[in-house]
Chain A
Amino acid sequence: MSILYHIGRYFMLMAETFSKPERLSIYWRRTVEEMDLLGVKSLGIVALLSFFMGAVITIQTKTNIDSPLIPQYVVGFTVRQSTILEFSPTIISLILAGKVGSTIAAEIGSMRVREQIDALDIMGINSAGYLILPKIIATALINPFLIIISMFLSIFGGWLVGTLSGIISSANYLQGVQYDFNSYIVTYALIKTVVFAVVIATISAYQGYYTTGGTREVGISSTKAVVYSDVVILIMNYLLTQLLLL
């Protein structure tokens, strides 16, 4: 089927998703549950990745700029800039697309093939709104917190590994981290994060919602959800960078 067909159907599903909810209190409760499932339960993997990401950036930066003409604090500066601008919002979002995206597609896809979505429709419930909207709101609200934690842990990981291994002094690293700081880069990172969160939730939900067949097709939908989310995140990353930084 043509890409235009999928784009059209995606936007029609979103129109359905954002239509008036039946009972707000139930939607809100579901949103809180999704924040826990999709956000809080991703904290472990985000923390682990971020810590080691910062550690590796520190070591690589140090080994690549080992020149007397370049001040030592550049290591801390590079870790901060690359973490806030790119690694935390983009790389962690790509990782979350794998974890959260596949969860969303598999859950909704299983509900589709087991007639549970038909059951919602028969009851007169807007199944798209009930299933997808809480996931979109949950990821858009919780992902920025995950990314802020990722930023801190990445910079902390760089500091810990850098100082413990003796490749940079704590004072030099912290001087770099604070050097010429422009808070706009955090705003830019958080805007990206929210956009990526919406991309992950909506594309994965779309793949799950239109699953046809059985368990094999649910697996295919999950894979497609991750691949398409990653592709769209990369494209949106370029467009947002062009739009917000230039």
Chain B
Amino acid sequence: MIEVRHLSKRFGNVQVLEDINAVFQKGKVNQIIGKSGSGKSVLAKCIVGLYVPDEGEVLYDGKSFQAMDKAQKSELRQEIGMLFQSSALFDSLTVLENVLFPLRMFATMSELEMRERAHFCLKRVKIEGQDKKFPAQISGGMQKRVGIARAIAMNPKYLFVDEPNSGLDPQTSIVIDELIKEITEEYDTTTVIITHDMNSVMGIADKIFFIHDKRLWWKGTRDELLESDNKELREFIFAGSLMREVRKAMKGI
């Protein structure tokens, strides 16, 4: 479980996040939604420690990240897997080497065991026969899957996913979403997804956190989301034509 307490962040004079309080449950898909530029990616970077919050703290299973020393932070980070918007695979390494990378840095197993683990992770994300290819030689969807394989290589307790569907076609987006959902349940991870894709939200979210005007504006489940009368939230979720159709259908019911 990850708990965010009174978190605020500003860059210079620009306040980006203000007094955010949220709890991300273990074994659940927690999705942070909001408009572009609303600060959801900044929130995720504050949670994983890439940005230092100006106020507040983040607790991983009750332990304050801000209170940890360098060694403790490094240890915790080995339990975090993250899939970046750009996949962030290392260009100079092959698909297999990318997945082997965290294992080679931290795992205490033999090279053979590491390779077995990497192959298992690649198979789990349905990537086979691409071991020797470089990231530039595979599609965007495949890169995302390799990114997930690398993220789960060390059996993470916490999984962060930044805009998993950006740049992907609808079918591949569904495949990636389902994969994240399956992995969350299989590994019992605390999964936090940053997205503005309502299809993804309606497909896999267990808990939704809506960031608006620097604050956590609303939180709830999928069912609560559709029934909410929060004006800003409704404007956001029904901005797309597909969701407008859903609303029409609901009114028809």
Q: A115-B85, A116-B90 given as contacts; is B104 within 8 A of A124 (CB)?
A: no
Is residue A4 contacting chain B, with contact meaning CB distance below 8 A? no
Shortest Cβ distance from B80 into A: residue: A122
Is residue B250 contacting chain A, with contact meaning CB distance below 8 A? no
> Which B47-95 residues have C-beta < 8 A from chain A?
48-50, 73-78, 80, 82, 84-86, 88-91
Please report the C-alpha to C-alpha distance between residue A200 and residue B160 in the assembled complex, in whole angstroms: 37
- On whether the beta carbons of A116 and B88 are closer than 8 Å, the reply is yes
- On whether the beta carbons of A115 and B75 are closer than 8 Å, the reply is no
Is residue B140 contacting chain A, with contact meaning CB distance below 8 A? no
Tell which of B84, B102, B160 touches A115, judged by Cβ atoms closer than 8 Å: B84
Is residue B14 contacting chain A, with contact meaning CB distance below 8 A? no
- On whether the beta carbons of A22 and B106 are closer than 8 Å, the reply is yes
Which residues of chain B have C-beta atoms less than 8 A from A122's C-beta?
48, 50, 77, 80, 82, 160
- On whether the beta carbons of A119 and B82 are closer than 8 Å, the reply is yes
How many whole Å from B81's CB to the nearest CB in chain A?
8
Is residue A32 contacting chain B, with contact meaning CB distance below 8 A? no
Shortest Cβ distance from A19 into B: residue: B70
- On whether the beta carbons of A114 and B88 are closer than 8 Å, the reply is yes
Shortest Cβ distance from A122 into B: residue: B82
Is residue A231 contacting chain B, with contact meaning CB distance below 8 A? no
- On whether the beta carbons of A118 and B84 are closer than 8 Å, the reply is yes
- On whether the beta carbons of A123 and B78 are closer than 8 Å, the reply is yes
Tell which of A116, A118, A124 touches B50, judged by Cβ atoms closer than 8 Å: A118
Which residues of chain A have C-beta atoms less than 8 A from B75's C-beta?
124
How many whole Å from A22's CB to the nearest CB in chain B?
5
> Which B87-115 residues have C-beta < 8 A from chain A?
88-91, 101-102, 104-106
Please report the C-alpha to C-alpha distance between residue A121 and residue B49 in the assembled complex, in whole angstroms: 9
A32-67 vs B, CB cutoff 8 Å, 1 = contact: the mask equals: 000000000000000000000000000000000000
How many whole Å from A132's CB to the nearest CB in chain B?
16
Tell which of A23, A110, A124 touches B78, judged by Cβ atoms closer than 8 Å: A124
Which residues of chain A have C-beta atoms less than 8 A from B49's C-beta?
121
- On whether the beta carbons of B88 and A124 are closer than 8 Å, the reply is no
Please report the C-alpha to C-alpha distance between residue A124 and residue B105 in the assembled complex, in whole angstroms: 9
> Which A106-146 residues have C-beta < 8 A from chain B?
110-111, 114-116, 118-119, 121-126
Which residues of chain A have C-beta atoms less than 8 A from B86's C-beta?
114-115
Shortest Cβ distance from A116 into B: residue: B88
Please report the C-alpha to C-alpha distance between residue A125 and residue B74 in the assembled complex, in whole angstroms: 7
Shortest Cβ distance from B50 into A: residue: A118
Please report the C-alpha to C-alpha distance between residue A133 and residue B85 in the assembled complex, in whole angstroms: 28
How many whole Å from B37's CB to the nearest CB in chain A?
16
The 8 lowest CB-CB distance pairs between A and B, nearest first, are A124-B77, A119-B88, A115-B88, A124-B74, A115-B84, A122-B82, A124-B78, A116-B88
Name A's B-contacting residues (CB within 8 A).
Answer: 22-23, 26, 110-111, 114-116, 118-119, 121-126
Since A119-B82, A124-B78 are in contact, a sample of 18 more A-B pairs with Cβ atoms closer than 8 Å, ordered by chain A residue number, is A22-B105, A23-B105, A26-B105, A114-B86, A116-B89, A118-B45, A118-B50, A119-B84, A121-B49, A122-B82, A123-B77, A123-B80, A123-B106, A123-B154, A124-B73, A124-B75, A124-B76, A125-B105
Name B's A-contacting residues (CB within 8 A).
Answer: 45, 48-50, 73-78, 80, 82, 84-86, 88-91, 101-102, 104-106, 154, 160
